[in-house]
Amino acid sequence: FIFANFNQLYKLDPMTFKVWMDILKAVPNSVLWILEYPMDAKENLQREAFDNGVDPSRIIMTPTAKKQEHINRCYLADLALDNPMTNGHTTSCHLFWSALPMLTFPLTENMPSRVAMSICDSLGLAEEAICLSYTEYSNRAKRLALGTINDLTQEQI
């Protein structure tokens, strides 16, 4: 299962990364595909993954790409995990243009934390995509991933 986040890494806060690591630990064979921007963050993120009990090889970093190429590759993931402190703005639009589902939640009352929520709401996806806490965000990501994995297993039997 491929979780993705293509926001610039300055939007990533320690609590969100910890939640992502907890999600990876709960979903066997899952990976987190993130944007390598800035490039010098890779070693720090791999060290943080290790410190959170996650094999650093489960963090897949990808370079930036031209807009259309990026949109064309987004659909390869299974679920996008948005940054609660500062949501994806243009990135969220790119995800939806590529038909990649996303989970988000507004961590604060400030505008940057509500952008993806507004996009989801305007697309009629509020119930499926918007979470109201880290716990709901984490549990829904795990449930969606594990449900997909279980569905695939049942189809193969």
DSSP 49-105: HHHTT--GGGEEEE----HHHHHHHHTTSSEEE--SSS--SHHHHHHHHTT--EEB-
The pair of structure tokens assigned to 72 is 């064309």
Instruction: List the Cα angle 134/140/144 in 5-degree steps.
Output: 150
Q: Which amino acid is at 83?
A: N
Instruction: Quick: pLDDT tens for 98-151.
Output: 999 999 999 888 898 888 989 999 899 999 999 999 999 999 999 999 997 666
**Strand partners of residue 33:** 4, 60
> Which helix (H) or strand (E) segment is 157 a member of?
none
Q: List the one residue out of 54, 65, 39 whose CA is nearest residue 3.
A: 54
- pTM for the model stands at 0.89
Q: Cβ contacts of residue 12 below 8 Å, gap of 6+?
A: 5, 83
- The DSSP letter of residue 8 is -
Q: What is the pLDDT of residue 152?
A: 47
Residue 19, both tokens: 């939640």
Separation between Cα atoms, residue 63 and residue 116, nearest integer Å: 23
Q: In this predicted model, what pLDDT tens digit does every residue of 33-82 receive, in sequence order?
A: 999 988 889 999 999 999 999 999 999 999 999 989 988 899 899 999 99
